[in-house]
């Protein structure tokens, strides 16, 4: 039940759920709501749900899952860390723009900021996400941190990443709930107009996407295989030794590829569950 085929099924299912999440939020803001603009009107607010679903939900999910893709196991760990960090930094930028959109819209319309539970938990999630990325860069990407520190912080790095992802999903669902109660007055949300049903499905797709991501990153049999390089090697040197993904692809035997990385310190180099 835990083989390659099963992983591919889960990956395709998450891709599909992620695709439908983005499609549904896009159709919602473009067809049912006021579209997209940057003029302080409702259409500016719409960047908020759109960018959060694209970034903080879907892209973050794939940034978390990227180490588990079997065809990346031939790539150097350093390259994978760069992709992981790059995706997360992109998510942080999208989340920041989405927050600017909502604050700008509120200020323009004299709507108070930061009063709802959604806003409290959402801002906390984005701030913690920034802290998580900063610590991740300092400890795991740059070659300064000692191996013991990397090993000590690893379970916290993995757990807090998943916690922020989960909290992001919960906060998104709260935000969609808020928006539906605000926006659906005539006909009212409680009369289940087509928009209500449509957006309820958006929530379901977000949850299904999250469930598949959590499943993929918590199954031990789908971990990136252990590698060995000297303890003294930093991320840069590791990168030089292993060249890049393209070079690795030349080698036909996966096992042989892995053996190129001799003596890699396991504790300091692994960063998924």
Structure tokens at 175: 């935000």
Structure tokens at 206: 């977000």
Task: Decide if residue 135 touches a copy of itself (CB under 8 A).
Answer: no
- Strand partners for 30: none
Q: How far is CA 28 from the centre of its chain?
A: 22
Nearer Cβ to a copy of itself (97/128): 128
Complex with a copy of itself: residue 29 or 79, whichever CB lies closer: 29
Among 8, 23, 117, 138, binds a copy of itself (CB under 8 A): 117
State the DSSP H helix or E strand holding residue 224, giving kind and residue range, or none if neither. Answer: none
Q: Is 191 near a copy of itself (CB under 8 A)?
A: yes
Q: Applying CB under 8 A, which part among 9-17, 83-91, 114-122, 236-244 lies near a copy of itself?
A: 114-122
Q: What is residue 75's three-state secondary structure?
A: coil
Q: Which part of the chain contacts a copy of itself (CB under 8 A), choosing from 60-68, 186-194, 240-248, 263-271?
A: 186-194
Among 159, 123, 154, smallest CA distance to 136 is for: 154
If one asks whether residue 183 binds a copy of itself (CB under 8 A), the answer comes out as: no
Contact (CB, 8 A) for 56 and 91:
yes
Strand, helix or coil for residue 264: coil
219 binds a copy of itself (CB under 8 A): yes
Closest residue by Cα to residue 210 from 261, 254, 258, 173: 173
For a copy of itself, the closer of residues 37 and 218 by Cβ is 218
Q: Kindly write out the interface string for residues 61-80 of this chain, putting x where it contacts a copy of itself by CB under 8 A and - elsewhere.
A: --------------------
Torsion sign over Cα 227, 77, 125, 204 = negative
Nearest to 234 by CA among 132, 136, 152, 146: 146
Closest approach, Cβ 15 to a copy of itself, in A, equals 19
- Which residues bind to a copy of itself, rule: CB under 8 A? 1-2, 111-112, 115-118, 120-121, 152, 155, 159, 163, 166-167, 169-171, 173-174, 176-178, 180-182, 189-192, 196, 199-200, 203-204, 207, 211, 214-215, 218-219, 273
């Amino acid at each position: 039940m835990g083989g390659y085929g099963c992983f591919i099924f889960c990956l395709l299912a998450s891709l599909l759920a992620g695709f439908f999440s983005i499609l549904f939020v896009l159709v919602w803001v473009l067809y049912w709501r006021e579209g997209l603009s940057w003029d302080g009107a409702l259409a500016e607010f719409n960047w908020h749900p759109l960018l959060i679903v694209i970034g903080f939900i879907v892209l973050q999910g794939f940034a978390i899952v990227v180490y588990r893709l079997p065809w990346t196991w031939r790539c150097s760990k350093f390259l994978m860390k760069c992709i992981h960090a790059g995706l997360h930094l992109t998510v942080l930028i999208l989340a920041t723009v989405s927050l600017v959109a909502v604050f700008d819209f509120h200020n323009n319309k004299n709507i108070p900021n930061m009063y709802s539970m959604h806003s409290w938990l959402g801002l906390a999630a984005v701030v913690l996400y920034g802290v998580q990325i900063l610590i991740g860069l300092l400890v795991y990407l740059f070659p300064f941190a000692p191996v013991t520190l990397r090993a000590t912080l690893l379970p916290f790095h993995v757990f807090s990443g998943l916690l922020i992802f989960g909290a992001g999903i919960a906060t998104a669902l709260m935000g969609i709930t808020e928006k539906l109660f605000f926006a659906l007055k005539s006909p009212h949300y409680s009369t289940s107009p087509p928009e209500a049903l449509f957006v309820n499905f958006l929530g379901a797709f977000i949850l299904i996407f999250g469930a598949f991501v959590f499943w993929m990153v918590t199954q031990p049999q789908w971990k990136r295989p252990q590698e060995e390089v000297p303890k003294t090697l930093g991320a840069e040197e590791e990168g030089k030794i292993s060249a890049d993904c393209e070079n690795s692809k030349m080698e036909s035997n996966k096992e042989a590829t892995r053996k190129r990385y001799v003596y890699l310190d396991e504790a300091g180099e692994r960063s998924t569950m």
